[in-house]
Amino acid sequence: MKVAGIIKQSLVDYPGKIAAVLFARGCNFYCPFCHNGHLLIKPGKAGAEYLDWQEIIELLRERKSFLDAVVVSGGEPCLNPELPQALSQIKELGYTTKLDTNGSRTAVLAQLVEQSLVDYVAMDIKGVLEYKKYLEACGGRLTNEDFLNVKGSLYLLQKAEIEVEFRTTVVPPLHKQEDILAIARHIQGASRYSLQQFNPGHTLNPDYSYITPYTREELQYMAQECRPYVKEVKVLNT
C-alpha cells in the first residue's frame, strides 16, 4: 500500500485506544481548507515518495505490545487498490482498525465492512448534501459519481454494525449554522457527529489562511442544536 507517512503513536486518532496512524497518498478532492496537501500527489508522480510496506508491517509487529489499533487516513485511502489486503495484514497482527474516508468509494467501503476489515469508520461530510455546495467544499473536484457515492456511503455506514463517526470541518465561508443543522438532520439517528474547528494555518488554498475560524463557543452552540438528531455531538480542536 502507498503510505506517505506514519505517526508511530497517537492518543487522539482512535477514541480510547493507543494507535499508529498511516497516511495514504492521493485524493480525488481538493478541499481548500485541507492541511494535508502534500498527500495529494498521486503515487508514481514526481515527489510522491512513500514508505516501504514490509517495514511498516515489521514496525507494527514490534510495537504490538503497547499499541491497540491502527488508523488508516489520508489523502483518501479507498483510492488505493491494495487497501483491503493491507487492512487484512494489519488485522492478522491482532490490531483493531479504523479508517478515515471522504466516502467517495462506496463499493470499497462496503467490501471492507462486509469482510470485517474495519472496526471503526470516520467519514468526513464536507458540507450540505447539495451538489453545488458540496462541489465548493471539495475545491471544485467532485464528479456526479463521487457525490452519489458520498450519499451511498452515508446510508451504508448508518446501517453498518461497526463504530461510525461522521465529522465536518466547520469553515465560515462554506458553512453557516443552518448548514450544520441540515447535515445533522440528514444523518438523523447516527451515533456520533463531530464538528472540527477550522485551522487557517497551512491550508491547501492560501486564501483560506486569512479566514477567522468560528469560536469554540459558536461551535458548541451548533453542536447543541444538532443533539436532537444525533446521539453524541462533540467539538474537536484541529
Express each pLDDT in 167-182 by its tens digit: 999 999 999 999 999 9
57: part of which helix (H) or strand (E)? Answer: helix 53-62
What pLDDT is stored for residue 172 in this prediction? 95
Tell whether the model's pLDDT for residue 43 goes beyond 60: no
Spell out the CATH class of 3-236: alpha beta
Supply φ then ψ for residue 196, to 5 degrees.
-100, 130
Pairing mode of beta strands 19-24, 3-10: antiparallel
Please state the domain extents for the chain: 3-236
* C-alpha cell of residue 212: 477567522
* Model confidence, pTM: 0.94
Residue 223: band (very low, low, confident or very high) from pLDDT cuts 50, 70, 90: very high
- Residues 214-237 have a mean pLDDT of 95
